[in-house]
Chains A and B, each alone.
Chain A
Amino acid sequence: MNYPVWNVDILGGGLIVAIIAIVHMLVSHVAVGGGALLAVAEVWSDGQPDGARIRTWLRRFATWFLVFTTVFGAITGVGIWFAIQLASPEATSLLIHQFVFAWAAEWVMFLGELTVLYLYFYGWDVNSRAMQRFLAVAYFVIAWLSLFIINGILSFMMTPGGWTLENRDIFRAFFNPGFFPLLLLRTVVMFLLAGLFGMLVATRVAADDDLKEKLIRFCAKWVIPAAVAAPLLAFWYWTTLPGSAVALALGGVTGVAGGRLEVVTRYGLLAGLAGALILVGTFAMALRPRAANTAPALALLLVAQLAIMGGEFFREMARKPYVIHGVLYSNQLWKEPGKAPARLDAPYLDAARWAPRLPAQSPARGEWIYRLQCASCHTIDGYRGLMKRTVAWTPAFGVRWLSTMDTLKVMPPFEGTAQDREALAAWVISLHGRTGVKP
């Protein structure tokens, strides 16, 4: 065990990553798609008789867009780094070392995106029309390139493809099997989100104004094709997933609520429902644009957020027990035994760096094994709580269960000796107020 494990009560580190990632996914896709909307609307407004009024609205859109994307987008992006570095330092280290210059290039995009947006926004009254159009288009292109780069790194985690620790082939790592389907999926989703965000801002235009009708219909045209295309692209992505992930998703695992439900059904339902709601809602708004008000527009955006959440959890679940598929487990154990600091069947705590030296019979040994091996995915009695899942454990059952835990396909194999398993089982049982007598 190279790194300490961040033991977060109740929530667990993984859930904190998920919360930040979900918010960031929404905002960053709005940031790219919104750029496209700005660019197209800049050009479109020039050919319209009421172009000046459209641009007045556009300025309002840009104000909200600027605050929303710079405050929430930029900071939650940094936030993902903070969270993954706490929840999976080993994996983060691998990604950083492999992709450092991709990230550095991504940062150049980030710097460009921000600066161009500021020049566009603060230069509103002094820039020529041509300059404003150029800035809006440049913003979109740069923002999309940043999506292009980050997509290579994110898709790598699920489908490392031909990359291995030995060949360190960055080309194959970056253009991995999931790269193109996910790039297209993200591009389509970002148009959808930009349209929804635009509708939200457009609902603030006075209802008796023709402009409102025009703007809402303009935005709806971004949402509807995207909502139709997204499921098709999602299916394409599905076909690139590794076999074990597909099996896991189809096979299902014991659900949080206790019952068994196939992962793919659960998240497929969520995504399908969300997509249908967005389609219906957008149609309704486009048909009666003057009646559209802010609350339903906001609700649609929240529904989209739910769908993104479904997607994120699906990805997390399908990738179990790995952070980097086939390479590194979520609890920072390397798949290749040669890479593991501790061997699978060697005494665990002696080789683990981050445990105090405990006497052989100490009950605390079990707790430390939990802390270093299980706590990156489980909490004691909060998210994916261990208490609820071990009510029926006896010492003998616990030891047996631990020796075959990897056959459930969602967990890495247990690291350690028979004594280590006994110690962990005894500690787990003691949580239930029973004695942890050795079998």
Chain B
Amino acid sequence: MTLLTASILMPAGDPLGCAVPPALFLALSYLTLTLHFLAMNFTVGGAILLIVARLGKGRDGAASVRFLATALPLGFSYLVTFGVPPLLFVQVLFGQLFYSSSVLVGTFWILVIPALVLAYAGFYYHKLAAGSASRKGTLVVLCSLALMLFVGFVYVNNLTLMQTPGKWLATYTAHPGGATLNLSERTLVPRYAFFILPGLVVAGIAFVLRGAYLDRWGREEEGRASRRFGARAMLVGAVLAWTAAGGLLATLPAAIRSFVLGGGLPTGLAGGWLALSLGSIACGLAAAPRKGLALPFASALLWACAVGCIVALRNLVRLEYLKGFFSLDAMPVNAQWGMFAVFAVTLVLGLALLVFLMVRIFPRLARRP
């Protein structure tokens, strides 16, 4: 498909324009998408570890199962909650692209919804109804995991199709009902792996942190086991993620690859990711044999920053893919500062209430045996 056809196809931007300068939406999107990825990774990785813990025997296993049985529904809830703002902002900023590609894969896109309901219900079933030793419990978690992996896969398909408008018309002509995916995309598999596999790292960090707290509460035996288990998961996850990153770089179109590696901000973000992720893993491994909260928290913070780098880089790469078809600078701004202020005040009040409540309730919850 030629450049020309793709630019004819590109839908016109919304007549209402952008409600605040795009940079502000981008900033909000980076922040919330980072939280989305962290919660998503925790839940996917946690589901894998839950299966590992259920299959393994022993006391530590049972305690881990109980921990994850409660944590995973919460993780799921927040992965959805933190997916909502980026979903809003991607439509504000990239609506033309995002609506088009979503319709093109419409059948799979809508199937995300029942998949989410079933996966989420599965985690609650596991917590509330499945006996801790039952086979059924393991099977249910396995189904929830598979459904989540499906959802992630559909997202990667949609978001890669979104940035390659050259493929749109042929895709639509062949499947006007949307029963297709973007499987011809070379970066698809490494990209998917790159976003999903860090799940083991994030769930690993959660175990290291949990171990550190168990120590504090005088349950040292369990604490050590949890830290070790977590550190091992982190290492495995990170090695897989670094490998996937290599695969992703190798499959990127040459022009995009040189954009990423050719210096400047993109290279800084890529390098930042590598350095921060190495630092995070180092802290996690160092925390395994030791007590104390500092190393686990450092590990978590470094990893969160690493994800932040990727979230920003990912968007720069998207804009680079779209060069010539689409630019955020071209979007008119019809400012709604009043509404922005309403939102900002709501956000500040809401967060203040939540922080106030959590500060009062968490210490009591944590002290519960």
Question: Would you call B354 and A75 a contact (CB within 8 A)?
Answer: no
Are A353 and B91 touching (Cβ within 8 A)? no
Does B334 contact A168, Cβ atoms closer than 8 Å?
yes
A74 lies within 8 A of B103 (CB) = no
How many chain-B residues does the 8 Å CB contact rule pick out? 71
Contact of A97 among B14, B110, B113, B178 (CB under 8 A): B14
**Which residues of the other chain, A, contact B83 by a CB distance below 8 angstroms?**
78
> Does B322 touch A at the CB level, under 8 Å?
no
Nearest to A375 among chain B residues (CB) is: B176
Say how far A283's CB is from chain B's closest CB, in angstroms: 34
Contact present for A71 and B117 (CB under 8 Å) = yes
The answer, yes or no, to whether A81 is at the interface (CB within 8 Å) is yes
Given A4-B172, A16-B110, A86-B109: A115 in contact with B177 (beta carbons within 8 A): no
Given contacts A101-B19, A111-B81, contact A353 B88 (CB under 8 A): no
Q: Is the CB of B360 within 8 A of A102?
A: no
Surface stretch bound by B, among A88-96, A261-269, A305-313, A394-402: A88-96
B217 within 8 A of A: no
A8 CA / B81 CA spacing, docked (Å):
29
Residue contact B117 to A67, C-beta cutoff 8 Å = no
Please name all residues of chain B whose beta carbon is closer than 8 Å to the beta carbon of A3 when the two chains form the complex.
11, 99-100, 103
Which of A123-131, A385-393, A420-428 is near enough to bind chain B?
A123-131
Categorize the interface residue count of chain A.
35 or more
B23 at the interface (CB under 8 A from A): no
Is residue B273 contacting chain A, with contact meaning CB distance below 8 A? no
Do B346 and A105 touch across chains, with their CB atoms under 8 A apart?
yes
Contacts of A103 in B (CB 8 A): 88
Chain A residues with Cβ below 8 Å from B360 are 131
Contact call A76/B117, Cβ cutoff below 8 A:
yes
Determine if B103 and A353 form an interchain contact, defined as CB atoms under 8 angstroms apart. no
Cβ-closest chain A residue relative to B84 = A107
CB distance from A91 to the nearest CB of B (A): 10
Establish whether residues B350 and A101, one from each chain, have CB atoms under 8 Å apart when the complex forms.
Answer: no
Judge if A239 is at the interface, Cβ distance under 8 Å: no
Chain B residues lying within 8 Å of A116, measured Cβ to Cβ, are: 354, 357
Taking CB atoms and an 8 Å cut-off, the chain B residues in 242-296 that contact chain A are none
A257 contacts partner chain B, Cβ-Cβ < 8 Å: no
CB <8 Å contact, A102 and B365: no
A18 proximity list for chain B (CB < 8 A): none
B residues sitting closer than 8 Å to A (CB atoms) are 8-12, 14-19, 28, 73-74, 77-78, 80-81, 83-85, 87-88, 91-92, 95-96, 98-100, 102-104, 106-107, 109-110, 112-113, 116-117, 120-121, 124, 128, 168-169, 172-173, 176-178, 334, 336, 339-340, 342-343, 346-347, 350, 353-354, 357-358, 360-361, 364-365, 367-368
